[in-house]
Chains A and B, each alone.
Chain A
């Protein structure tokens, strides 16, 4: 990408997904570009629109069961968009947005539904809803904080890297046999997480990681008022959780 060209950020299906205020992520990305003098274009694509296939960044938010199946069907009807998501753009997929990109997902009644198949992951229902704060550590961007609210247990295929390892909270819900749970998925073109809502507002390093990879340049620091206090309030105690988590495995 040329240094002075515009970055386009497309929120997919805000009228179907986005139950958990995930739309904030688009605003965070565009603001952080503009504050650095990089032109940004914020686009939304609703169900009745033809999706643009040349955007730099795509966002997929969370949603309930019926919306999730509807969104899956819609994506499958737009194979060109799926090709873009697979190997040209960078996508941030949150919660249900992550599940539908997988191979399959089962609903609360145990019925299995075929996913879009861009990620080698499968999701089955958890017995209990996972609701609460999550703290995780990503090798690339450090500590992440977010809120999760889902009933999915997501199993990653052998070739799939998680976005982060969970220090507290449930995430993908795959922690067992002395193994720490993971959260989300990281491929060259898709970043996915169970941390819903404005996960990028809480984690500016993740936002800038996304922006640096689409602009191909290193970005200047942004010192936003209240940002440090916000992160400290959610990350306080994560060090002790790390120790406890370590003992438990």
Chain B
């Protein structure tokens, strides 16, 4: 089925495969999920990376079905299960607003909730409403072990009714959407032991945490030497480690698998294109950008590509919540279908730049060598497809 969709040119293949099966049998997801151990991974940023980490670690226990391409709605989950009928395990990245539906069909052994910040407001309305939807999924599955980020107040609020919570101190790089308490709206107080609110909502004491790059957990104290860059990915790795060790993977084996991961569905890939070596990064919202800016190499030129299609969110306002000021001093190109919106934003950030809607054409302005390319969702995928064809 995936072969067919690729032949007719419908892109990744996994989504269309799922749709066809769904049309044949509405209960397909439910029946395909029975007798498997299902792990659902959700959150605004890091779903794809973390689910790849969990899948890599669980493979030391057996076959794993995984929606590796990032098709993260019910049909993507269905396609992943259809493609691996023999797999005893399933790791499914799930869109936050589809968690409740996918969970009710798959009765998951575990849910991993990474972070909840603003993504695409024109589609998903407010963050709190997303958190409330996740809270309902948590309450509906008392048997499920819920791995939740203790450093993200919105996640803690969403997971607060979990019967079997495992709190993970995965860190948070961006708190601007939850300045107020998710429960009562008061200002949160920060202290050495974390955040808390007068109403009682408090950072739970985590059973897994990081001390620099040392991961601590029940019976675990090991250094994480990741191939992937950034503090944000250390947090993702800790979440993946907690979930896979709890599932029964030996800690050392899990750490080896997680650390070896060097690219995730094209993200972090290094690709030679003409006289440039491109490092591809995906950032699709202010929180994702905050994590990504920390990964950029100080001296490299940067191409930023922004689209505003349905999957990206039509509204480009979020560009004004990205701290592009931190790119001052670098050579920058504004690119993608919304290059003009981005270019205006960069000018107000005091950043001279070249503008070209085509990110590969924009490279012509740069000296040979290494270039960081940061793109949002559809801009990333169209660029990656072009590079794959060219490569």
Contacts and interface: CB of A to CB of B under 8 A. Distances in A.
B344 interface: yes
Given A64-B128, A149-B121, A226 B185 contact: no
Given A15-B180, A70-B185, A226-B334, A147 B314 contact: yes
Interface of A is mostly: mixed
Contacts, number: 86
A16 B121 CA distance: 16
Interface residues of B, number: 30
A15 B187 contact: yes
B341 A230 contact: yes
A197 to B, nearest CB: 3
B317 A20 contact: yes
A27 B349 CA distance: 9
B154 interface: no
Interface in B331-373: 334, 339-345, 347-348, 353, 355
A225 B343 contact: yes
A196 interface: yes
Contacts of A48: 187
Contacts of B353: 225
Contacts of A160: none
B348 to A, nearest CB: 5
Given A16-B180, A201-B345, A226-B340, A147 B320 contact: no
B273 interface: no
Contacts of B122: 131-132, 147, 149
A31 interface: yes
Contact of B355 (A23, A64, A149, A226): A226
A28 interface: yes
A64 B126 contact: yes
A198 B180 contact: no
B321 interface: yes
B318 A31 contact: no
A24 interface: yes
A225 B355 contact: yes
A198 B122 CA distance: 15
A15 B179 contact: yes
A133 B180 contact: no
Contacts of A31: 348
Nearest to A226: B343
Interface of B: 118, 121-122, 125-126, 128, 179-180, 185, 187, 314-321, 334, 339-345, 347-348, 353, 355
Contacts of B179: 15
Contact of B320 (A15, A24, A64, A66): A24
Secondary structure type dominating chain B contacts: helix
B283 to A, nearest CB: 15
B355 A198 contact: no
Given A225-B347, A226-B339, A21 B185 contact: no
B202 to A, nearest CB: 20
A23 B180 contact: no
29 contacts: A15-B179, A19-B121, A19-B126, A21-B317, A21-B318, A21-B320, A23-B320, A23-B321, A24-B317, A27-B348, A48-B187, A66-B185, A129-B125, A132-B122, A133-B314, A147-B316, A149-B121, A149-B315, A197-B317, A198-B320, A201-B320, A201-B344, A225-B347, A226-B339, A226-B340, A226-B343, A227-B340, A229-B339, A230-B343
Contacts of B318: 21
Interface of A: 15-16, 19-21, 23-24, 27-28, 31, 47-48, 64, 66-67, 70, 129, 131-133, 147, 149, 196-198, 201-202, 224-227, 229-230, 233
A230 B187 CA distance: 37
Contacts of A133: 314
Contacts of A229: 339-340, 343, 355
Nearest to A198: B320
Contact of A230 (B185, B317, B344): B344
B83 to A, nearest CB: 35
Nearest to A25: B320
A69 B118 CA distance: 21
A23 B315 CA distance: 15
B345 A132 contact: no
